[in-house]
Amino acid sequence: MKILVPLKRVADPDNANKVKIPAAGDKIETTGLEWKPNPFDEYALEAALRLTENGQTPKVRAGEVVVVTFGPKETEQTLRAALATGADRAIRIDTTDDKLDGDLVARALAALIEKEKPDVVVMGKQAVDGDSNQVGQILAELLDWPMATFAATIKEEAGALVVSREVDGGVATMRVKLPAIVTVDLRIVAPTSVYSTKTAATFKYNDGVRFAALPAIMAAKKKLLVEIKLADLAADQALKVEYKAFQAPPARKAGIKVKDVTELVTRLKNEAKVL
Amino acid sequence: MATTPEPLSLDSLISIDALLTDEERMIRDTVRRFVRERYLPRAAELFAKEQFATDLIPELAAMGLLGGSLTGYGCAGMNSVAYGLAVQELEYGDSGLRSFVSVQGSLAMWPIWKYGSEEQKQRFLPKMAAAEIIGCFGLTEPDSGSDPGSMTTRARTDGDHYVLNGTKMWITSAPVAHLAVVWAKVDDGGPESIRGFIVERGMPGFETPTIHGKMSLRASPTGEIVLTDVRVPKASMLPNVMGLKGPLGCLTQARFGISWGALGAARACYDAALAYARTRVQFDKPIASKQLIQEQLVEMAMEIAKGQIMALHYGRLKDTSGISPIQVSLCKKNNVAWALKIARTARGILGGNGILLDYPVVRHMLNLESVYTYEGTNEVHTLILGNALTGHNAF
Ligand SMILES: Cc1cc2nc3c(=O)[nH]c(=O)nc-3n(C[C@H](O)[C@H](O)[C@H](O)COP(=O)(O)OP(=O)(O)OC[C@H]3O[C@@H](n4cnc5c(N)ncnc54)[C@H](O)[C@@H]3O)c2cc1C
């Protein structure tokens, strides 16, 4: 099975307080930010790796995982990290973040998919910076492929994937024929979430995403990483989403300390009005 | 209250990133993440319960951290700087975790890699890199610490075997080890007769009682090695070294790693002290706004910066023209002594909370007491440097 995994780097979500917005409010200041791969994209990569191996040590690859990102030269760091973690090959589509929206990303990915012909696109359900949650869905529409969003488990069958997602009060399970788009939620990295046809049903992964082996980090440089111009994938680069203004969330007011439970209950009743 | 600007991070102050390769940075970041996700959530509990995280050993192996600076035989072949950065991140977690990795790589695998026969290397190293075999290093004895030449463990020749007798003390990982690299004097010889022996668990007369009640390195199992007429085939002796330079060569390797590792513990203490000082309000202001506290934080940051720059310098040198044991002593002495002082200062900054295991500081402080003593006490390194600088041996 051949899987395409789109990756995006985002400002370190654990250091969100470093995100600065200039007084003009026209943009987000990105200088000095620490970049991390979007967590949901890391989960997508982990799911894709699990789908292309047999779960045994030493790992035997049973397929190909191609990672792709949009961005300037520095974003190759994100790709190299993915190659070190186990992806087979990488593509960087040269552009900058401010020249993109979900629609253009989906159109460019659709054009790339025409060339690469993967069996599945596994991607994060959303990027934690813009939280738009739309690229997977637009992409499925453009390609006219079946899609399964917010996947919590994926099980490979011949020519199809059985995908479950958590919904209010239960689990919805669907079977999508390949080729298909799957967007993943955080449960996908639980020990028994993903099974390829070659992985024993009794096999348990470590919880979470895998850590790159240090020799693999040193070898990642030797894996293929190609650059494609955005123009070669999307002639029309007009954006459909325009950001009007940015505003930092209001600073949180200091909390109060209550003397005793009686005061707490009174305040919850009269001030917070939650009782 | 006016919002204070984001403080300058130690990483930005020291700025070694630009001097590292992409791979070195990625190795550091990967180990950093491993420690934060896998080890730190359990660090206090493991320390409190005097438990070693055996379940993490396969993951350490899968990442290539065991014997990570050795080449061939299934080892990762990292350069000295990448290896140093990795152990520094491990010790940000706990000195016990780092000690396990140091002992396996520098004290058990390295002597086999450096002094062993080809058969010994083939037989042991790949399995040790994969954590199928855990090793330990037996040099210290109850009556022989800083002066290892005074050891009394003996190997007596008996046909095509040696018969080992003696007791080794304070041996990291001994209780969990499958093999021990044991140093012993041969027959009636003096220090020049010292040889290394690979002693395997299961050989009759080989025992490793655990030392309980340590108030330091509680997350690393320490034991004795008791050898009672242990018959070891001659093929288990390390053929390519004789005398004290055998064990001392191993120590030079381990001490290099420790001088990076100690920086990790120091950084963890600095991070905790800084975060605490910025939020703890006394006399209506965060204690970080007090000059006395700032002086302490500045000294901590300054010494970490100096130690880091020194470690990087000697690391690069080790990979190019090589470094001497004296330079390694300089790094070990400086970085460990400062790490311990930094931990104690951080302990003070946290006030009463500084003695709780809820914060990493007292755990690091207690751990560093061992790091200060093992691999050459602080005084021993002073004497090594004093001898080198003056030409007078003061041991
Ligand atoms: C947790 C832990 C783990 C350890 N792991 C290992 C291991 O895996 N393998 C191993 O072989 N050993 C191990 N050791 C032993 C360690 O290396 C020794 O403790 C160390 O070498 C000091 O020896 P000692 O404890 O006998 O102290 P001593 O040598 O008795 O020293 C006592 C004090 O006297 C000072 N001193 C000694 N000689 C002089 C001198 N000439 N001039 C001035 N001062 C002097 C010392 O600096 C020290 O302050 C470990 C120790 C600890 C605490």
| Residue B80 belongs to domain with CATH number | 1.10.540.10
* Band of residue B4 on the pLDDT scale cut at 50, 70, 90: low
Does B142 lie in the same domain as B59? no
Res A31: pLDDT: 78
Residue B2 lies in a domain: no
State yes or no: pLDDT of B325 exceeds 90: yes
Region A82-99: what's the mean pLDDT?
A: 95
Question: Percentage of chain B with pLDDT > 90?
Answer: 98
pLDDT at position B65 over 70: yes
> Is A200 part of the contact surface with chain B (CB cutoff 8 Å)?
no
Please give the residue that has the higher pLDDT: either A14 or B320: B320
- In this complex, which of A18, A217, A221 lies closest to B30 when CB atoms are compared? A217
**Do residues B359 and B263 share a domain?**
yes
Q: What is the mean pLDDT of residues A85-109?
A: 95
| Sheet strands (E) in B234-361 | 281-282, 285-286
Poorest-confidence range of A143-157, A242-256, B337-351, B380-394? A242-256
Q: What confidence score (pLDDT) does residue A59 get?
A: 72
What span, in angstroms and rounded, lies between the C-alpha atoms of B120 and B63?
24
| Alpha-carbon distance A81 to nearest alpha carbon in chain B (angstroms) | 7
Q: Residue B1's pLDDT band (boundaries 50, 70, 90)?
A: very low
Catalytic residue among B59, B303, B375, B379: B375
Q: How far apart are CA A241 and CA A1, in angstroms?
A: 34
How far apart are alpha carbons A220 and B241 in whole angstroms? Answer: 37
Give the distance (Å) from ligand 1 centre to CA of residue B379: 10
* Mean pLDDT estimate for chain B: 97
B71 HSE (CA, 13 A, CB side): 2
Is B64 in contact with B130 (CB distance < 8 Å)? no
Question: For residue B162, is it within any domain?
Answer: yes
Domain membership flag for residue B5: no
Q: Is B374 in the pocket of ligand 1 (CB under 6 A)?
A: yes
Tell me, yes or no, whether B302 and B372 share the same domain. yes
Higher pLDDT, B52 or B6: B52
Q: Is the pLDDT of residue A196 over 90?
A: yes
Distance B270 CA to ligand 1 centre (A): 27
Chain A CB contacts of B31 below 8 Å: 214
Considering the domain architecture, whether residues B385 and B250 belong to the same structural domain is answered as: yes
Compute the average pLDDT of residues B292-313. Answer: 98
Domain total in chain B: 3
Lowest mean pLDDT among A29-33, A129-133, B31-35, B345-349: A29-33
Considering the domain architecture, whether residues B329 and B363 belong to the same structural domain is answered as yes
Last-in-domain residue among B107, B129, B151: B129
Q: Are B225 and B174 in contact (CB under 8 A)?
A: yes
Q: Output the CA–CA distances (angstroms, integers) from residue B369 to A60, A168, B200, B218, B257, in the order listed.
A: 45, 53, 30, 12, 17
Cα(A142) to centroid(ligand 1), Å: 70
pLDDT in tens, B108-129: 999 999 999 999 999 999 999 9
For residue B304, the number of C-alpha atoms closer than 13 Å in the C-beta half-sphere is 31
Query: Where residue B366 sits, what CATH number does that domain have?
Result: 1.20.140.10
The reported pLDDT for the residue numbered A165 is 96
Query: To the nearest whole percent, how much of chain A has pLDDT over 90?
Result: 73
Q: Is B150 a member of any domain?
A: yes
Q: pLDDT band at residue A58, thresholds of 50, 70 and 90?
A: low
Q: To test the ligand 1 pocket, which listed residue (B109, B140, B194, B248) has its Cβ within 8 A of the most ligand atoms?
A: B140
Rounded to two decimals, what is the model's pTM? 0.91
Is the model's pLDDT at A259 over the cut of 60? yes
Q: A16-30, A131-145, B68-82 — which is least confidently predicted? A: A16-30
Distance from CA of A211 to the nearest CA of B (A): 7
Share of chain B above pLDDT 70, in %: 99
List of chain A residues whose C-beta atoms are within 8 Å of the C-beta of residue B23: 217-218, 220-221
Asked if A237 is an interface residue toward chain B (Cβ–Cβ < 8 A), one would say: no
Q: Which of B27, B37, B62 sits opposite A217 (nearest CB)?
A: B27
* Nearest of A171, A164, A168 to residue A193 by alpha carbon: A164
Q: Is the pLDDT of residue B2 over 90?
A: no
Same domain, B17 and B122: yes
Q: Which residue of A has its CA nearest to B25?
A: A217
Nearest by CB to residue A214, choosing from B3, B22, B76, is: B76
Whether B375 is a known active-site residue: answer yes
| CB proximity A213 to B under 8 Å | yes
Check whether residue B150 and residue B101 sit in a common domain: no
Q: Do A213 and B63 touch (CB under 8 A)?
A: yes
Q: How far is the CA of B272 from the centre of ligand 1 (A)?
A: 30
B183 lies in the same domain as B94: no
A148, A177 in Cβ contact below 8 A?
no
Rounded distance from Cα B201 to ligand 1 centre (Å): 25
The structural domains of chain A, ordered by start, are 2-248 (3.40.50.620)
A58 cis-preceded (ω within 30 degrees of 0): yes
Q: Is the pLDDT of residue B375 over 50?
A: yes
What residues of B are in the A interface, CB distance below 8 Å? 3, 6, 22-23, 26-27, 30-31, 33-34, 37, 59, 62-65, 68, 76-78, 82, 86
- By alpha-carbon position, which residue is closest to atom 30 of ligand 1? B145
Alpha-carbon span A82 to A65, nearest angstrom: 10
The token pair at B236 is: 């288990």
Closest residue of A to B32, CA-based?
A211
Range of the domain at B44: 10-129
Let me know if residue B395 belongs to a domain: no
Rounded Cα gap, residues A189 and B253, in angstroms: 38
* B231 and B257 fall within a common domain: no
Q: Which pLDDT value is given to residue A254?
A: 77
Residue A128 at interface with chain B, using a CB cutoff of 8 Å? no
